[in-house]
Structure 1
Amino acid sequence: MLGDGSLGNVGSPPRVGCVAGVFDLFHVGHVDVLERARRHSDRLVVAVLSDEWAMDAWGARPFVPLLERAQIVEHLRCVDEVVAVDDVRPEWLTGVLGVQTVFAASATDGVLGVDELDGIPPGLITVLPAGRGSRSPILRAAIDQRQSRSSVA
């Protein structure tokens, strides 16, 4: 059974899954979605998206630098490999990493959702049901508000 620590059926290749996200202001929602994705994979690769990707998508740089975000994710037991990327491309996922499943989650989980996995064939995407939320959107709003007040002063 997948996700129980075994590597699938004897003789069959391990099932490789991937979760992509910025992982800024790392929180319990991130941990939850990564653990749930790992339960459906023999091997979990996490694609940490670059600051440039975040600027294009959000119009703002992440608070935590890319290297630190990747190092945080790298230390989780449920994660087998971390790669820093500028975009999530299907040919790279399947060809280079051997990914069979790209996990999507709701925005409240802190990783890419189906709408953000533009260009990934629907057959590769597995949508995880909503999990634990986090207070990171509240934290981000408070930081933004504090930064805007200090720039006025």
Structure 2
Amino acid sequence: MANFTWKGNPVTQIGRDLKVGEKAPEFNLLANDLSPVTLADSHGKVRLISVIPSIDTPVCDAQTRRFNEEASKLDNVEILTISADLPFAQKSWCAANGIGNVQTLSDHRDLLFGEAYGVAIQELRLLARAIFVVDKNDLVTYVEYINESTDHPNYEAALKAAKAVS
């Protein structure tokens, strides 16, 4: 189990850690227009899944901007940024910040993505920071659980992992 902390304080992880080689769990999230988005919708593409606690915080902002910049350099890789923020907040933040190369998705409704991917934080009803790469056949090929909510992921390793299976 990941040992998540929020600003240095331990929090409770809901779900179990995913492992490389496992089939990625299906999910049903909301796009910014409230339409449903599932893992199956992007079957046949490599998915870099960037999980953040809240899009309007400094590290989440930087993480989303970084992957937005890198998206245009990746062939056949779809970048999904997932948080428990409301879809309206995600849409507004993306519009205000010129973010258009990543798809922001919301798990606010029931945190089922968070539970399936082991990133739901019980005390806060937010998602812990993590990165997953899922290949064209829906297999998990890269996992990084970031234990401290204020730490950045290893961007280079995640991008390398996505390129390796694209």
The structure with more helix, counted as a fraction of residues: 1
The structure with the largest alpha-carbon Rg is: 1
Q: Give the TM interval when normalised to the shorter protein.
A: 0.3 to 0.5
With the length of structure 2 as denominator, give the TM-score of the two structures.
0.33
Q: Which structure would you say has the larger RCO, counting Cα contacts within 8 Å and 6 or more residues apart?
A: 2
The structure with more strand, counted as a fraction of residues: 2
